[in-house]
Each structure stands twice: as structure tokens, then as C-alpha cells.
């Protein structure tokens, strides 16, 4: 059996975002600098951010991370979809760190193990370890975290295939149990509808964003099941909201919304992007 490399190799640096550290830092800082945040009340427990290539969703993602700019967190629990087919519900990189051109971020293996143990106790299965994954939706958020947060942090990364409300609620509660009392930030990675005309996309995305602002993971999952709204990271956001609810959060504020058509000028087939903040 081939040994697992300590550092997860990036499959998207230089493609989805800049591979040069100075250019990458300047690009991310540029997105953050342009944000004018609306007023919101409460302590930030988490953020929701899109995960397309920076050209398409970087400006929207900037709004999510501007909400925690210059804040100091010891730990970031980052939940994303797993786009590739996989039989298991929840997955985690088996490496010891993620790397971007801006540096390495250690994975909090002890906390990964704690979540895994709790899931196995409650569900009979836990976090499936995988190596050399090609999932972009988790990694794409890391340069924003590296530039926005004021200090070093460790990562609790979970990729999600499940759309089962019970499984996602149990994951959220397992996360909350591990995060309780820690200086931690929740991050949910999701895009919205894919490849509808702009007017249809806005209708579908509006429903999904409404369910987020209603603080309703149940409503999000139901909207997706009924075809009233779509989010490729619906499970990631739902689990994040379940965790945030356990940690005392009670509201979500949508900070920005756009589509790929707003960037490319092609409104015939767009992808939706939303940014939000989860508040206590």
C-alpha cells in the first residue's frame, strides 16, 4: 500500500486560482478590499461562501470572508460537498495538512478523530479517509481564510455526499460537541443553481437563500428535494446550520448574490453564487 503524503497536493492551484503567492495574495486582498458589508447584529459563528474559480465567484466569496477579516480563530471547521461519486456519506483528507501557494494549513487530526468517534457511536459509520482527492470546493476557500484571518489556524475539513437530514443533523451535533468552548469558525462551501437561464436561476437561488435566512436546514433540504431551489453544497450548509444552532446561533444574513452571467455576460446558462454570515 502506497504511503499517504503528509501534504495534500493541490489539483487546482494555477487553474482555479493563481499559483504565484504574491499574485494570489493581491487577488484575494483585492476582493476583500472592495467589500462594503451591510449592517448585521450578533457574533459571527460561521460563514457561507461559493466555490467556483476566483474569476467567477471570488467577488461574492469576498463578502463572506470580509465578515471575519482581521479576526483570530484557532480552528476552522470547513464543510464542503464532495462532487465526485463516492458510496460514503462523510469524507476527510487522510493527509496531515492542506497546502496553497500561501502556505500550509495543518489538519487537526485529534478533532477529526473526535468527530469520527462521535459519528460512529451515533450512526455506525464515521469519516471515510481519502488521499489525493481532487475536490475543489474545500480547497478554494483556503486562500481567503489565509488572507482574511489574522493568525494561524488548524483545519477540520469534511466533504459531504449525504443529503439525509438525520445524518446531517447528527454530523452537525457531533461538530458542535467538538467545537464547543473552542475559538472556532464554521465555514460552509456551496454554489447555488447550475446552468439555468438567469431569470430562472434567480428564482431558484432566491428560494434557497430564503431558507438560509430562515435558519432552516430542513427547508433547504426540502427545497432541493422538491426542485424549488438548488445548492451543490446543500448538505454542507445544512450540517453547518445544525452545528451552529447547537452552538447558540440563531440567524443568517445573506451578504451578496450574483451569477456567472454577471461576470461573463452570458445569461443563457448561469451558476448562482451567494455569501452569508451565521450569527449568534
Residues 115 and 158: beta-carbon distance below 8 Å:
yes
User: Is 158 among the domain residues?
Assistant: yes
Range of the domain at 246: 29-35+44-279
DSSP conformation letters of 17-33: B-SSHHHHHHHHHHHHH
226-238 mean pLDDT? 98
User: Is 240 among the domain residues?
Assistant: yes
Between CA 111 and CA 175 the distance in angstroms is: 9
- Domain containing residue 161: CATH number: 3.40.830.10
Q: Which of 125, 177, 119, 139 is nearest to 12 (CA)?
A: 139
Given this model, what pLDDT does residue 64 score? 98
Check pLDDT > 80 for residue 90: yes
User: Is 200 among the domain residues?
Assistant: yes
Question: Strand 103-106 relative to strand 97-100: parallel, antiparallel, unpaired?
Answer: antiparallel
User: Is 13 among the domain residues?
Assistant: no
Between CA 67 and CA 277 the distance in angstroms is: 7
- The predicted model scores a pTM of 0.97
pLDDT tens digits for 91-149?
999 999 999 999 999 999 999 999 999 999 999 999 999 999 999 999 999 999 999 99
Q: Worst-scoring range by mean pLDDT, 37-41, 42-46, 265-269?
A: 37-41
Check pLDDT > 70 for residue 266: yes
pLDDT tier for residue 2 given thresholds of 50, 70 and 90: low
User: Is 12 among the domain residues?
Assistant: no
Given this model, what pLDDT does residue 4 score? 85
User: Is 116 among the domain residues?
Assistant: yes
pLDDT tier for residue 3 given thresholds of 50, 70 and 90: confident
Check pLDDT > 80 for residue 229: yes
User: H or E stretch including 154?
Assistant: strand 154-160
- How many structural domains is the chain composed of? 1
211-226 mean pLDDT? 98
Check pLDDT > 80 for residue 177: yes
Say which residue the cell 482555479 belongs to. Answer: 16
Check pLDDT > 80 for residue 1: no
Question: Strand 184-189 relative to strand 154-160: parallel, antiparallel, unpaired?
Answer: unpaired
User: Is 21 among the domain residues?
Assistant: no
User: Is 2 among the domain residues?
Assistant: no
Amino acid at each position: 500500500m502506497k504511503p499517504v503524503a503528509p501534504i495534500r497536493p493541490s489539483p487546482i492551484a494555477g487553474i482555479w486560482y493563481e499559483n504565484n503567492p504574491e499574485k494570489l495574495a493581491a487577488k484575494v486582498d483585492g476582493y476583500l478590499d472592495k467589500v462594503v458589508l451591510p449592517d448585521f447584529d450578533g457574533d459571527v459563528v460561521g460563514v457561507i461562501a461559493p466555490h467556483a474559480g476566483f474569476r467567477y465567484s471570488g467577488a461574492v466569496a469576498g463578502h463572506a470572508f470580509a465578515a471575519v477579516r482581521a479576526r483570530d480563530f484557532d480552528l476552522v471547521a470547513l464543510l464542503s460537498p464532495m462532487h465526485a461519486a463516492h458510496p460514503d456519506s462523510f469524507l476527510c483528507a487522510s493527509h496531515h495538512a492542506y497546502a496553497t501557494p500561501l502556505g500550509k494549513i495543518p489538519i487537526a487530526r485529534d478533532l477529526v478523530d473526535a468527530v469520527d468517534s462521535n459519528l460512529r457511536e451515533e450512526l455506525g459509520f464515521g469519516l471515510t479517509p481519502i488521499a489525493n482527492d481532487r475536490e475543489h470546493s474545500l480547497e478554494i476557500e483556503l486562500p481567503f481564510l489565509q488572507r482574511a484571518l489574522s493568525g494561524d489556524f488548524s483545519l477540520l475539513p469534511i466533504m459531504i455526499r449525504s443529503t439525509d437530514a438525520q445524518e446531517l443533523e447528527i454530523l452537525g451535533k457531533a461538530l458542535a460537541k467538538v467545537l464547543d468552548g473552542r475559538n472556532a469558525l464554521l465555514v460552509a462551501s456551496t454554489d447555488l443553481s447550475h446552468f439555468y437561464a438567469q431569470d430562472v436561476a434567480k428564482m431558484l437561488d432566491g428560494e434557497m437563500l430564503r431558507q438560509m435566512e430562515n435558519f432552516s436546514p430542513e427547508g433547504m433540504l426540502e427545497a432541493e428535494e422538491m426542485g424549488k431551489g438548488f445548492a451543490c453544497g446543500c448538505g454542507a450548509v445544512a450540517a453547518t446550520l445544525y452545528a451552529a444552532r447547537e452552538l447558540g446561533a440563531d440567524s443568517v444574513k445573506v451578504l451578496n448574490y450574483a451569477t456567472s452571467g454577471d461576470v461573463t455576460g452570458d445569461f443563457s446558462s448561469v451558476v448562482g453564487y451567494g455569501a452569508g454570515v451565521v450569527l449568534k
